[in-house]
Amino acid sequence: MFPIAFTALGVAAFPDRVLSTVLVVEDEPAVCELAAEALLDEGYRVLTAADAWEAEAILARENVDLLFTDIDLARNTNGIVLARHARSQCPDLPVVYTSGGRSCLSQGEGVSESVFVPKPYRPSQLVALTNDILRGGFPHHA
């Protein structure tokens, strides 16, 4: 997926700021790169995964402040299941879902206090939402 250099870029660009870490889980490389670059430009530390298995391995070894995940992922993995597993390990982890195949999540489908952003989204929308969640409190949508 992304070379490790992207993570280092985020740290070097903002040495005086305590960085929040965002895990972007997206199986479309161009979409993943677009989201990651927008968040890096805003000063976040960004980790990426192409499927839920990669994401779970990252979550097991890294402190993540926000999970941004596509719903339908590579290797028949699922962002909704990933978020439930992540929340079982870290109950306060903010979760943002995205999908190009649906316009919303039905009631109770996502984890509590999660947010859904339909594709296509603008990178600026992702950055604004991430800023709102990590700097100002989690918006209460489901």
Q: In what helix (H) or strand (E) does residue 121 lie, and over which residues does it extend?
A: none
Number of H helices, E strands in the chain: 5, 5
For 44-53, how does the pLDDT look when each residue is reduced to its tens digit (9 = 90+)?
A: 999 999 999 9
Single out the residue of 63, 66, 16 nearest to residue 43, CA to CA: 16
Map out the domains of the chain with their CATH numbers: 5-136 (3.40.50.2300)
pLDDT digits (tens, 9 = 90+) for 115-139: 999 999 999 999 999 999 998 765 5
Which DSSP string do the residues of 56-75 spell out, in sequence order? Answer: HHHHHHS--SEEEEESB-GG
Instruction: Please give the model's pTM, rounded to 2 decimal places.
Output: 0.85
Residue 18 has a pLDDT of 57
Dist CA 142 CA 37 (whole Å): 26
